[in-house]
Amino acid sequence: MGCAFGRRDSYRVEGKTGEELKFQRGPTTVIEPTKSYPYVNNNATVATMKPSQQQLKYLQQPPLVEIPVESLPAELLNTTDKKPADMHLDLPPSHPADKRLLDKIYGSMLGMAIGDALGAHVEFRPRAYLEQNPVQDLQGGGTWGLEAGQWTDDTSMALCLAASLIAKKGFDPYDQLVRYKWWWRKGYMSSTGKCFDIGNSTKAALDEFVKRQHQFAQEYHIQDFKELDLLPHDLSTKFDTKCSREDVDSNGSLMRLAPVPLFFCQATTPVHAIYYAGVSSEITHGGQKAVDACRFYASLLYAALNGTSKKEFMDRMFYDRCFQAGWYGDKPLHPDIVQIANGSYQEKNRSEIKAGAMAVQTLEAALWAFYNDNNSFHNGALKCVNLGDDTDTVAAIYGQLAGATYGEQQLHPQWLERVYAGNFIAEISKWLQYEGYQWKEKRREYAKKLKN
């Protein structure tokens, strides 16, 4: 299906063209956990999550083992002619699932979708308008003419990312781009069945991806485009998936981020969640600020999912302690992201917060709302939306962290009932937990083999 480029196409304006860099394939990492399941630790601290030098070393090496990609829900997740509300995934196989962790994973996914839906009908409205007409509940109509509870590109792309992690049983940037393309061209994972809202940077990256697909098909004599979208592992790893310019620093990768740390949160250190969060941005938003906004937010999500208190991971020294503990390897965050990590938002009032389309602005706005929400998702989500401008994205980013912190059971019950495709999001959440657990277990088994 086609995609109608409305005001979003002219709203998210990027900088000048930068030089393309060749993508270096992200590694398949191997870890050896030091704690037994369950992994939610309500007394978790930075010190207990410190990665070993061996774990950091694995992130610099090529893949060590090929993991089968067959997955029970893969066939359905590769279907492009059904809307999310019409899709149904069976329950994952039995495994030692922790209900508290599932509540946080589900809370993060639903929090993102609810925030997105809350802001959808007033997207691009200036703050002055929201001050006169404050949003107080889910509403339909407005910018996109959606029904109350339907969400936009933020949640659609996050579901594409989640579907890839589940179907491929791990991080596969080529498959992620394929699913983003399906969303753009076929309405895959859209709440309406069509792509009606796409950012400039995302569209440019997908245009580049399609161009490279055609070139790749000629080079490897692939005539069937369906076959091209479903490349086997040995071919997909040869594809250059870094389809963004170096100077693209808008918020389109941050808004969809949650599934990456949700999938990798059961690893005993956060290095995987943070590393792959950065790679997930590079394929469409390659600017260092956008990449590092994702890396930092992934560290917050990992901490929240593993039971670290809000007080601790919102502390001004959290980033410094995490960097010293090895969470970010030897690559510090961009200074603009460090400023936010060090608590710039804690010193600002509402009039000083900008809710624009750049990753730095959106990250600060979402954290400002989270810091000032009085531990209430309802309060924080409305604070985000009523900032105006990129209302849906700021609220969706807030919802990822607030949902992971407070859990699904603390979300507004009426919003839970009304959000579009809530049952499907619940099923996706269960599969993210299951496949994340399997990913961790396979690497623990492989680590044991290396020692023997």
Cα gap 113→381, rounded to integer Å: 11
Q: Say whether 202 counts as a known binding-site residue.
A: no
237 annotated as ligand-binding: no
- Please report, as a single letter, which amino acid is at residue 98: D
Domains by residue range for the chain, with CATH: 18-451 (1.10.4080.10)
| Residue 47: DSSP 8-state | G
Q: Which of 340, 292, 336 is nearest to 318 (CA)?
A: 340
315 assigned to a ligand binding site: no
Which residue matches tokens 């469409």? 284
175 annotated ligand-binding residue = no
Q: What's the pTM?
A: 0.87
* Closest to 168 in 3D by CA, of 268, 237, 108, 266: 237
Judged by DSSP in three states, 413 sits in helix
- Among 305, 83, 38, smallest CA distance to 189 is for 83
Determine the length of the chain.
452
Can you read off the two tokens belonging to residue 81?
């002619």
Cα separations in angstroms, 388 against 107, 120, 353, 383: 24, 11, 11, 10
Does the annotation list 268 as a binding residue?
no
| Ordered per-residue pLDDT tens for the chain, 452 residues | 333 323 333 223 233 333 322 222 233 323 233 333 233 444 456 656 666 555 555 554 433 333 444 446 778 899 999 999 999 999 998 888 789 999 999 999 999 999 999 999 999 999 999 999 999 999 999 999 999 999 999 999 999 999 999 999 999 999 999 999 999 999 999 999 999 999 999 999 999 999 999 999 999 999 998 899 999 989 999 999 999 999 999 999 999 999 999 999 999 899 999 999 999 999 999 999 999 999 999 999 999 999 999 999 999 999 999 999 999 999 999 999 999 999 999 999 999 999 999 999 999 999 999 999 999 999 999 999 999 999 999 999 999 999 999 999 999 999 999 999 999 999 999 999 999 999 999 988 877 887 76
**Hey, what are 447's tokens?**
């680590």
Omega prior to 96 cis, within 30 of 0: no
Angstrom distance (rounded) from CA 390 to CA 125: 8
17 is in an annotated binding site: no
